[in-house]
Chain A
């Protein structure tokens, strides 16, 4: 049995290296997202977003002398660092990817960065890992993200709440790197602004019942409940249970909690709730939404635009460096993303490649008005929203 296993593993290995060799004019980009696990409902659209950028470049045929790019998907599971590391390791050693678009959740992103990306010298651009801890992580200049750090979102959220004259809130967060990071940065900012957080209670995602959490939150009290969770996970369960028991009737929703689905599901209960998410009123957003709808992807899906931008940035940086080796193109990513240069919107990747070919500077704006600040993360404009009559309405930008 053991021999059989070994033999089949060896055959698989040989077969796949043979594959890799026979397609040497193809450049591979790994897309590692949680296709199973807590984020499984939003990751297909995110991967779709990244693949849109890849398809767009392939159609132009102008990338590095007509080379084709192939997307290789892998499963980060969002929660299991060991599984994510193994999947990323496979992408790098077996598929020989030139860069990794991902990962999605902050915890597994950190694990892949430390164990695979740094060890093998591969560039990672995450569309959605927002934990403040990743700003300080050792990355050898290999890690970028098109989503802003939650340290910034915490401050923005505090201002949004303060501007409405609310000074006492209860806080619940999903018990992972994202939730904890956002909750901590928010609590710090809110208390510095003079507000009170009555309780900061964690909740686990995908669990059966949230009455215990809601009971504690209700007991602590507060004018509104801040829910740093996910729309189709514990966050929704908490809001549902709070509404049902009459514990809270207004909620503050950060990026992970905003989606049309939750508004439709909860109906009038969410009216009057407000929040903020990374987003801008740039032209690029509208163009991207049109393109995504055409490609059959949910355009308002969270982090879909960031995924498109992450893939596009990686490809353009490779084109500019004229190399797929990480040490060559990692340094170009910040240049591509920031001014000066010709502004590049979604759907204009072909033109961007021409400009690069001609030796001109470009400023990639993309679907989410990307502007990268040190250490390689999005500066972040935030869109303040309010839920009115079952629709998410944009109130302003911060």
Chain B
């Protein structure tokens, strides 16, 4: 029995808990990508850097709050700064839309042109973030680091394996759940949300029924700002902030959005978790778990690893390609790419 519990704890500690946190972060990022694809009809390559910008704004506000002595008890101060960060990012995105995207929308530019434009925006934001906060690692998490750490858990339960749950992991899951609930409520129950969905389904029909397209676009950017900043801040709290890493986050986020079905919010969430868990599970060395579970004479001597961790990224892209080949609209019905 103890062996069984040890196996479960080891699996939770190294696979389930970190996978869930990473999945939630990817899901929030993928939601932003999918919303832009559904409503504005292009793949926004600047999304990773939007996350970086939002996080940077939040970090600056956090530092401001800390310097005047405000903190949030055992929770990180960044959570108080988050709404202000979202507001600043919202302004930036609305400004970008005004200055750049609107021009191409008026021209009825093809989606691929908008994609290229977004790559340009990506480079500018990239430079902006590095210019303001620098290229180095920024650690801005304060408050209590652990809800329970591995050593305490071992002492409490008397098991050989420890289970660590970080405050940031819990915050990530809770905040992600709240954000997703709010988004779905907004899209399904409010008038603006319904007009956004109408605009996404059939632009011409939506225009005929008197929906103001500029308003839909503006609201979309604001929601994207909120999602991107939240995802970025949660990720930064959980790990740390570095401009380069945020740029690299773009790949798994796109993989998640496409696997789930571009344009489908539910798919984005599922996609986030699929990508996160596939990265961890397929390359996991089962030795530790099996040693606990198997009778002594059957214990494995090797690592019992399906693929070496070198192939971690191959795994998510293999899933991506399989999905595109056999179900181009994604696991949940989205638009085909």
Mark A residues whose CB is within 8 Å of B. 37-38, 40-41, 175, 199, 201-204, 206-209, 211-216, 218-221, 232, 236-237, 240-241, 244-247, 261, 265
A221 touching B151 in the complex, CB below 8 Å, given contacts A202-B309, A212-B280: no
Q: Are A245 and B18 in contact (CB under 8 A)?
A: yes
Q: Which residue of B lies closest to A201 (CB)?
A: B309
A212 touching B303 in the complex, CB below 8 Å, given contacts A202-B309, A246-B151: no
Q: Are A246 and B287 in contact (CB under 8 A)?
A: no
A208 touching B284 in the complex, CB below 8 Å, given contacts A240-B239, A245-B13, A245-B14: no
Contact of B288 among A213, A218, A232 (CB under 8 A): A218
Q: Are B136 and A215 in contact (CB under 8 A)?
A: no
In the complex, A245 Cα to B137 Cα: how many Å? 21
In the complex, A175 Cα to B135 Cα: how many Å? 21
Q: Decide if the interface of chain B is mainly helix, strand, loop or mixed.
A: helix
Would you mind naming 22 contact pairs between A and B with Cβ atoms under 8 Å apart? A38-B244, A41-B135, A204-B312, A204-B313, A206-B242, A206-B248, A208-B245, A211-B18, A211-B22, A212-B279, A216-B305, A216-B309, A219-B14, A219-B287, A219-B289, A232-B136, A236-B137, A237-B239, A245-B18, A245-B150, A246-B150, A265-B139
Residues 93-117 of B, flagged 1 when their CB comes within 8 A of A and 0 if not, give: 0000000000000000000000000
Which residues of A lie under 8 Å from residue B164 when comparing CB positions? Answer: 244-246
Contact of B137 among A202, A212, A261 (CB under 8 A): A261
| Distance of A234 from chain B, by nearest CB (Å) | 10
Contact of B249 among A208, A214, A221, A265 (CB under 8 A): A208
Given contacts A204-B312, A216-B283, 12 further A-B contacts (CB under 8 A): A41-B137, A199-B303, A202-B308, A208-B235, A211-B18, A212-B283, A216-B285, A218-B14, A241-B18, A244-B146, A261-B137, A265-B139
A216 touching B303 in the complex, CB below 8 Å, given contacts A211-B19, A240-B239: yes
Mark B residues whose CB is within 8 Å of A. 10, 13-15, 18-19, 22, 25-26, 135-137, 139, 145-146, 149-151, 162, 164, 166, 235, 239-240, 242, 244-245, 248-249, 252, 276, 279-280, 283-289, 303, 305, 308-310, 312-313
| Distance of B293 from chain A, by nearest CB (Å) | 13
In the complex, A24 Cα to B154 Cα: how many Å? 72
A212 touching B135 in the complex, CB below 8 Å, given contacts A220-B287, A245-B150: no
Contact of B240 among A41, A204, A214, A265 (CB under 8 A): A265
| Distance of B152 from chain A, by nearest CB (Å) | 10
In the complex, A244 Cα to B239 Cα: how many Å? 11
Which residues of B lie under 8 Å from residue A237 when comparing CB positions? Answer: 239
In the complex, A213 Cα to B307 Cα: how many Å? 11
In the complex, A288 Cα to B242 Cα: how many Å? 30
Q: Are A40 and B135 in contact (CB under 8 A)?
A: yes
Closest 9 CB pairs of A and B: A246-B150, A211-B18, A215-B14, A219-B285, A219-B288, A216-B285, A246-B162, A40-B135, A212-B280
Q: Are A265 and B310 in contact (CB under 8 A)?
A: no
| Distance of A196 from chain B, by nearest CB (Å) | 12
A244 touching B166 in the complex, CB below 8 Å, given contacts A211-B18, A216-B283, A220-B303: yes
In the complex, A251 Cα to B230 Cα: how many Å? 33
Which residues of A lie under 8 Å from residue B18 when comparing CB positions? Answer: 209, 211, 214-215, 241, 245
Q: By CB atoms of chain A within 10 A, which of B137, B248, B276, B310 has the most? A: B137
Which residues of B lie under 8 Å from residue A207 when comparing CB positions? Answer: 245, 248, 313
In the complex, A262 Cα to B166 Cα: how many Å? 20
Q: Are B13 and A202 in contact (CB under 8 A)?
A: no
Which residues of B lie under 8 Å from residue A41 when comparing CB positions? Answer: 135-137
Which residues of B lie under 8 Å from residue A204 when comparing CB positions? Answer: 312-313
In the complex, A206 Cα to B276 Cα: how many Å? 16
